[in-house]
Amino acid sequence: MVKPSQNSNETFLDYFFKLLGAEETAKLLEALRKPPSKYFLRINTLLAKPHEVVASLRRRGVEAKLFDPKIPEAIYVEVVEESLDEEEASRLKEVVVDRYTAEAVMVGANVYAPGVKRAKGVLRGDLVAIRMEGGFLVGLGEASMSGLEALTKRRGLAVKVLKTRFKAPSLRDSEEYLQGLIYPQSLPSMIAVRALDPKPGEKLIDLTAAPGGKLTHAFQLMEGVGEVVAIDRSPRKVAELKAHLERMKMHNVKVMQRDSRYLDLELPHSHFDAVIVDPPCSAIGVRPKLHISLNLKQVSSLAEYQKQFLKVASKLVKPGGRILYSTCTLTIEENERVVSFAVEACGLRVKEHGYIFGQPGLGVVPGAIHLQRFYPHIHDTPGFFIAVLERLG
């Protein structure tokens, strides 16, 4: 059996040794291999009150709790670490899945056919051991289709997961989810939108809106009043975003399939009070991770890509307006140095806000004390970065 602790590359270790030191890097690695101990949900306060949803979830056996009065829409459920019996698993047929599927299974997700790599001799109804390529056991389940079906059809539920390493509630089939009352969203992501402080009657645009976590959060803080525009370039992601908006009964949103990097050629300048920029990143902070690596060339390319979104955001936002820039990564290149570019080249400055739950940013940019970093081993959250920027003028 391969332990996930063997899966981290030298570039990652070298980078974070220099950034955090050896002891902190070891703690970071350990934390990244597990999900946070709290599974967060956001209540759609346009449809329900947090205490009502908490009571409803408890009636179905989900021990949900309110988080903090500063973020009343945030609730959470404790994630329980469980053990898997390797001896029992060794007697079962195996379904081997890709890394991303394995990471999802770790916290209770079912296995769908596209994630299956091998399933030799597996028949519908078999109890199976679910393993990542390399042999690491991530869960036990019941096959919903044969291995041959999974590898030829490439769609549909392949394995219903029965036991995993971490037990978190599966709520996507719950009444609360289907009625649009809840949205699974990490704590730092909610803090980011709170820091942006969208208000009723404002004009807001999200340049990277899908799947819709920050956008729908902003919409509810605006009480559904104002102009809200959602942009994404992927047809599949736009469809997913529209489905969430429909589920959550948020109808007054203009959704556009566009490449946001060129929106300044189409939309009026100095029009929006608030802009959300949550661009593609190296995703170092996403948990759990069964393979941990870092590609510095890719990080550099991503940072240049991210700057393009901020350049456009700075043109679309009004003087005195706010831009939320956030990532789920921990590299300086994609975080503080992108903010430094925004300050030096885009006529923006770091804005103070009242939602500080993480640590200050690293001191390579003016106003770093008002930036926020969330470290998995310190804050028990995904790794995350938040900057609120204000346009000068």
328 is catalytic: yes
Q: For residues 269 and 52, give the distance between their C-alpha atoms in angstroms, rounded to a whole number.
A: 42
The token duo for 16 is: 């974070």
Helix ranges restricted to H, 2-143: 10-20, 22-32, 50-59, 86-90, 99-106
Residue 257 pairs with which residues in a beta bridge? 232
> Whose CA is closest to 345, among 287, 375, 306, 376?
306
8 Å CB contact between 329 and 311: no
Q: Which of 328, 330, 339, 386 is catalytic?
A: 328
Q: For residues 92 and 306, give the distance between their C-alpha atoms in angstroms, rounded to a whole number.
A: 46
Residue 349 pairs with which residues in a beta bridge? 390
Q: Which amino acid is at 106?
A: M
Q: Which amino acid is at 170?
A: S
Q: For residues 182 and 42, give the distance between their C-alpha atoms in angstroms, rounded to a whole number.
A: 6
Annotated active-site positions, please? 328
